[in-house]
């Protein structure tokens, strides 16, 4: 005896195929992305992941610029007979200067 119920193939059982998702008058071809673009879209495409990436960016910004933002030394100092100096820049460590310079040079490349 045969089963009278129709059997669905794996492709016909999918919900939301490209034919159903295409706008009227547009082709139903799926959008092609490179591998890297697909990985980035799948990672950052979710709302929580995007919010997390923005938060990491804010933390990275403050980590890089903290030596300038949380410094108690004056930016410019003018003394009688000695001219103008910058105690803020004088008290930066070599690691602070390297991190700031690398960030300023590499940030436009992103």
Q: What are the pLDDT digits (tens) for 45-96?
A: 888 988 998 999 999 999 998 988 888 888 888 888 888 888 888 889 999 9
In this model, does residue 18 exceed pLDDT 60?
no
What's residue 4's pLDDT?
Answer: 57
Whole-prediction pTM: 0.54
For the chain, the average pLDDT equals 78
In this model, does residue 29 exceed pLDDT 90?
no
What is the Cβ-side half-sphere exposure of residue 97, based on CA atoms within 13 angstroms?
7
């Amino acid at each position: 005896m045969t089963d009278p119920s129709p059997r669905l193939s794996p492709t016909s059982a999918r919900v939301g195929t490209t034919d159903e998702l295409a706008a009227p008058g547009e082709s139903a071809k799926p959008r092609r992305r490179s591998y890297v673009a697909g990985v980035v879209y799948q990672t950052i495409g979710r709302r929580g992941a995007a919010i997390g990436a923005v938060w990491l960016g804010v933390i990275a910004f403050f980590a890089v610029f903290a030596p300038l933002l949380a410094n108690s030394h004056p930016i410019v100092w003018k003394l009688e007979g000695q001219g103008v100096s910058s105690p803020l820049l004088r008290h930066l460590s070599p690691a602070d200067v390297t991190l700031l310079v690398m960030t300023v040079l590499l940030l436009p490349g992103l």
